[in-house]
Structure 1
Amino acid sequence: MTRLFIKLIGFILLLAGVYFLGKNIIFASHYFPYYWRNLPAMGSVLAIMGGVICLMFFRRETGTFGAFLLGLGIVLVFMSGGVILRQTSLWNFFVGFAALAGGYKLLNEGRINF
C-alpha cells in the first residue's frame, strides 16, 4: 500500500511539473490560403503521431525510429511558427523542473536521494 501511495505522489508531482513548465507555452494554428504553406504544421502532427505509435506499440522493433520521429515533429512545430513561448519567472521554472524531476524519480525508484 505504501508503494502505491509513493507512485501516486510521484505521478501527481510529474503532472504538476508538466503544468508549471507548460503553462507559458502557447500552441497556435494559422490559416494559410495555399496548401504548401502549412506543410511543416501538417508534417509535425504526422511525425508526432507516428513517433508516439512507434514508441507505444512497437518499441522493440522501431524504438529508435519513433524517437527520431518525435524529434522531427518537435523541430517541425517550431518551424511552422505555431509555438509561442511567453516569459516565465525563474521561480516558476525551478518549481516546475523540481516537481518534474522529483515525480519521475518517485515513479521509477520510489525514493528521492538528496
Structure 2
Amino acid sequence: MGRLLIKLIGLILVLTGLYFFTQNIIFVSSYYSIFSRSLPATVSVLAIMAGAFTLVFFYREASSLGWILLGIGIVLVFLSGGVIFRSTSLWNLLVAFAALGVGYKLFNQGRINF
C-alpha cells in the first residue's frame, strides 16, 4: 500500500509540474490557403497523427518510423509559428522543474536520492 501511495504522489507531482509548464504556452491556429503559411501546420498535424498511429498499432514493426514522424511533426509545429510562449516568472519555472523532477523520481524509483 505504501508503494502505491508513493507512486500516486509522484504522478500527482508530475501532472502539477506539467500544469505549471503548460499554462504559459498557447497553441494557435487559423485559416490560410493551402499554398501559403498553413502547409507546415497541416503537415505537422498529419505527421503527429501518423506517428501516434504507428506507435499504437505497429509498435513492433515500425516503432522507429513512428518516433521519427512524431519528431518531424513536433519540429514543424514550432516552424509553423503555431506556438506562442508567454513570459513566466522564475517562481513558476522553479516549481515546475521541482515538481517534474521529484514526481518523476518518486514515480519511477519510489524514493528521492539526495
Letter in structure 1 aligned against 2:34: Y
Asked whether 1:94 is paired with 2:94, we answer yes
Looking at structure 1, the residues matched to 69 and 86 of structure 2 have their Cα atoms a distance apart, in angstroms, of 26
* TM-score under structure 2 length normalisation: 0.88
Of 37-46 and 16-25, the range deviating more from structure 2 = 37-46
CA separation of 1:44/1:91 partners in 2, compared to 1, >3 Å: closer, same or farther? same
Other structure's SS at 1:29 match: coil
Looking at structure 2, the residues matched to 52 and 110 of structure 1 have their Cα atoms a distance apart, in angstroms, of 29
Letter in structure 1 aligned against 2:35: W
Provide the residue aligned with 2:22 in structure 1: 22
Residues 12-68 of structure 1 show CA distances to partners (whole Å, capped at 9, x for unaligned) of: 001001001111000000111x21231211111122222223334433333322222
Other structure's SS at 1:113 match: coil
Other structure's SS at 2:112 match: coil
Q: CA RMSD in A?
A: 1.4
C-alpha deviation, 1:76, in angstroms: 0.6
Provide the residue aligned with 2:79 in structure 1: 79
Provide the residue aligned with 2:34 in structure 1: 35
Provide the residue aligned with 2:70 in structure 1: 70
Structure 2 gap segments, 5+ residues each: none
Looking at structure 1, the residues matched to 111 and 6 of structure 2 have their Cα atoms a distance apart, in angstroms, of 8
CA separation of 1:97/1:57 partners in 2, compared to 1, >3 Å: closer, same or farther? farther
Q: How many residues align?
A: 113
CA separation of 1:102/1:51 partners in 2, compared to 1, >3 Å: closer, same or farther? farther
Looking at structure 2, the residues matched to 98 and 6 of structure 1 have their Cα atoms a distance apart, in angstroms, of 16
Letter in structure 2 aligned against 1:50: A
* TM-score under structure 1 length normalisation: 0.88
Looking at structure 2, the residues matched to 106 and 56 of structure 1 have their Cα atoms a distance apart, in angstroms, of 27
Structure 1 gap segments, 5+ residues each: none
Letter in structure 2 aligned against 1:98: A
Paired-residue identity, %: 63
